[in-house]
Structure 1
């Protein structure tokens, strides 16, 4: 009778183990996940410091992957090099890239990226605003075609292609600071940047009180960890990584820690 009871316990533990095994995806974290990140100075979201990728977006992705047990390597590369590397399967994905239909030829985004304004698998949602010189009477009211030229924007933004298609003269720079410097110097045109960066620039003595932020948002974009179509990661792994990013993005305490660093 005692032996029978022990067998029942063993069977129970065996079944419990099986249920736990199938409740979670089976990942192999022995392989390194290699990610690329645009090396442009897009503080506080992404930037390079002493050869290393830094920024809020990098912190969120790193936290999500390490929480799932992955080993990761992040390399800072020019945006075009990032895209080519992903296209060739040299890296597993790109940190902080907005969706564009052309990119889907070789990059994979969360499934809901075209269905809702704010993708659930995004790293962060970023609002782009129009900034003008303080004495410029122009007010942006939603008509992109009305933007005064030149339109200055950080290099590599997906908005560049859309602005160029409607015939606007676009000037790209490696940093927002360069764009603000040109705006203050020339007193014409606009700067397209994130609302957070614009507000931070107003704290810089070189720019404070010399520009105005138009209240109407130009665009709001979800920035993602997009995976190379040639990565060895399975569909299940990619889904769980995006869910983990969502989890940490919605973690109030963690995000306060991230914000406090920048």
Structure 2
């Protein structure tokens, strides 16, 4: 009976377990290796739109391979004896589900003060701890080949249309705070099509995502302009409910992600080069 109870408990998001049952589960699963223990299960959500190579494929089912961020979290969790159940959904729903405590956490998110209500970041002295990030992504400017639109590191020039960006990307708020008129679209493909057709003069997006899209689609009339518009660290976040009950586990997973990130990312990246 105890084994069945533990099995049912470990299959639920950890933040939903009553404190007494969580302690019993943790004790049996981690402190008694000779027992017939069931691994603890963490439920994490991420967007259903590809952000290659960190999140691969589109739709509600994880792709095969699923993306560097997914595999990195899987590896770190497995090292700590934790099983992860991944769910995919629209990016804004990931945040709302995390805020409500319906999932234990979500990824892959840059630091944004507005998101503090949705969940918890790994912090050091009250600031995001980049040593425990999942990745660093660079936002750059794309334009039609040989066009005059430019970015000098401080301001844009020769813009006669709104600047394109992906819906939900944190860079949108950054650009608007600078007084830039931004027009959002749901996907990289939509923004590139608008740029090529002349509906946009330029497009700001994550270089690793757009470069892969342009190469895959064999598009050669779009160019990338240096320097980056911004560089951002991205994190695994935990829900406030989960962190309140399981702060030591969350901190341990963040710490281990930081320890294995660079080496594991270098190895995993080889799977996503073709």
CA contact 1:136–1:188 (8 Å) conserved in 2: no
- Structure 1 residue 113, shift from structure 2 partner: 8.7
Q: TM-score, normalised by structure 2?
A: 0.76
Partner SS state of residue 212, structure 1: strand
User: 2-side partners of 1:106 and 1:147: how far apart?
Assistant: 37
Q: What is the distance in 2 between the residues matched to 1:147 and 1:26? A: 63
Q: CA RMSD in A?
A: 2.6
Of the three residues 43, 48, 54, the one matched with 2:52 is 43
Residue 131 (structure 2) aligns with: 120
2:110 is aligned with 1:98: yes
Pair 1:256 & 2:266 matched: yes
Aligned counterpart in structure 2 of residue 235 of structure 1, from 211, 227, 247 = 247
The 10-residue stretch of structure 1 (135-144 or 83-92) with the greater mean CA deviation from structure 2: 135-144
- Counterpart for residue 4 of structure 2: none
Bigger Cα Rg: 1
2:22: which partner in 1? none
CA–CA separation in structure 2 for the residues paired with 1:249 and 1:131: 29
Q: Following the alignment from structure 1 to structure 2, what is the Cα–Cα distance between the partners of residues 109 and 167?
A: 28
TM-score by length of 1: 0.79
Unaligned ranges ≥5, structure 2 = 1-29
> Counterpart of 2:75?
63
C-alpha spacing 1:171/1:107, structure 2 compared with 1 (3 Å): same
The whole-number CA distance in structure 1 between the counterparts of 2:80 and 2:189 is: 36
Contact 2:144 2:222 in 1 (8 A): yes
Give the unaligned 5+ runs of structure 1. 1-24
Residue number in structure 2 paired with 1:169: 181
**In structure 1, how many angstroms separate the alpha carbons of the residues matched to 2:241 and 2:158?**
39
Q: Which runs of 4+ in 1 moved over 4 A?
A: 25-30, 113-116, 144-147
Tell me the number of residue pairs that the alignment of Structure 1 and Structure 2 aligns: 234
Structure-2 change in CA distance of 1:167 and 1:139 (3 Å): closer
